[in-house]
Structure 1
Amino acid sequence: MKYVLKTDKSSTTIIIRLMVGIVFLSEGVQKFMFAEQLGVGRFAKIGLPGPEFLGPFVGSCEMICGALVLLGLLTRFAAIPLLCIMLVAMATTKANILVGEGFWAMMHASRTDWAMLLGSLFLLIRGGGRWSIDRKINSRWKS
């Protein structure tokens, strides 16, 4: 558990946390608000199995993990499901663009996906940073 809370002293990590947390929290909420376009309906359209389960499940993971990232609480742990979500999203929605329209069209269409994937990877590696609940908890364990 101590490694999960471990983080560096960087004060700029909050910028990555804000970016990743706000986007995932917002996307999760929208999967419920606009289920036919962004949740269950979208998952069915792209052919994912069990869209009635998967839509709300992914939306809930995005909201919970996005909120944890924003708070800097269990940041490394929260980054893992977000990485998985982005890898599946890119594989299921961008591979057909790569095949049909080419590399540059796929890169253009996936620019936000790459930002969220790499932002989540950064948080997995570095933790929540100076202004995180992880850091406050971890510093109490040290004393």
Structure 2
Amino acid sequence: MTDEPRLLIPALGGLYNRLAPVTEPLMRLCAGLSMAAHGYVILFGAREANIAFFEQAGFHPAAFWTVVTGATQFFGGLCLAAGLLTRLAAVPVLVFLLVAIKFHAGNGFFWNYLGFEYPLFWAIVVFHFLVRGGGRWSIDRAIGREV
């Protein structure tokens, strides 16, 4: 007896088995690059608009929190994407996302109403890498060291 479910289309089993090893590294790469892109925009793209947002949202001093948030997303995202110090990088990114969840909670769940759905989704993805580490095809694995 196996824990694996029986496939409705057994012929796909080989394809699934061949693709399985790339799913986690692909998820790490996409999550990290997405996070880094958001951080880049905060730091270098629309910095003044982000400072104004943080000011209006009550995060004082707004310029400081803009840099902290942008740097957390940018550098944390790059580390996640590369699988470099993956667990360590996941901690500040997860803290940032938990603050975002709290910030958006007053708007309900759904992201189309600026609720907490989107930051919750990303928090779960980042939590996965906090627990599992960089995994296959990460710099952490290549150097044989993980936090």
Unpaired stretches in structure 2, ≥5 consecutive residues: 1-20
Quote the Cα distance in structure 2 between the aligned partners of 1:28 and 1:95.
22
RMSD: 2.3
Task: Give the aligned partner of residue 23 of structure 1.
Answer: 34
The 1-side partners of 2:114 and 2:51 are apart by 25
The correspondence for 1:96, drawn from 106, 110, 113, is 106
| Matched-pair contact (CA < 8 Å) for 1:69–1:78 | yes
8 Å Cα contact 1:97-1:106 kept in structure 2 = no
Shift of 1:16: 2.2
2:35 is equivalent to residue 43 of structure 1? no
Q: 1:77 to 1:136 in 2, by over 3 A?
A: same
Looking at structure 1, the residues matched to 110 and 84 of structure 2 have their Cα atoms a distance apart, in angstroms, of 37
Aligned 8 A contact 2:110 2:116 in 1: no
SS where residue 136 of structure 2 aligns? coil
Give the total of aligned pairs: 125
Displacement of 1:52: 1.2
Which of 136, 141, 145 matches 1:130?
A: 136
SS at match of 2:144: helix
Which consecutive aligned stretches of 4+ in structure 1 deviate over 3 angstroms post-superposition? Answer: 103-109
So what's the TM-score if we normalise by structure 1?
0.77
Normalised by the size of structure 2, how large is the TM-score?
A: 0.75
Instruction: Return the structure number with greater relative CO, CA threshold 8 A, min gap 6.
Output: 1
Cα deviation, 1:79-135, whole Å, max 9, x if unaligned, reads 00010000111112x12213xxxx557887333212210010000000111110100
Percent of counterpart pairs with the same letter?
A: 30
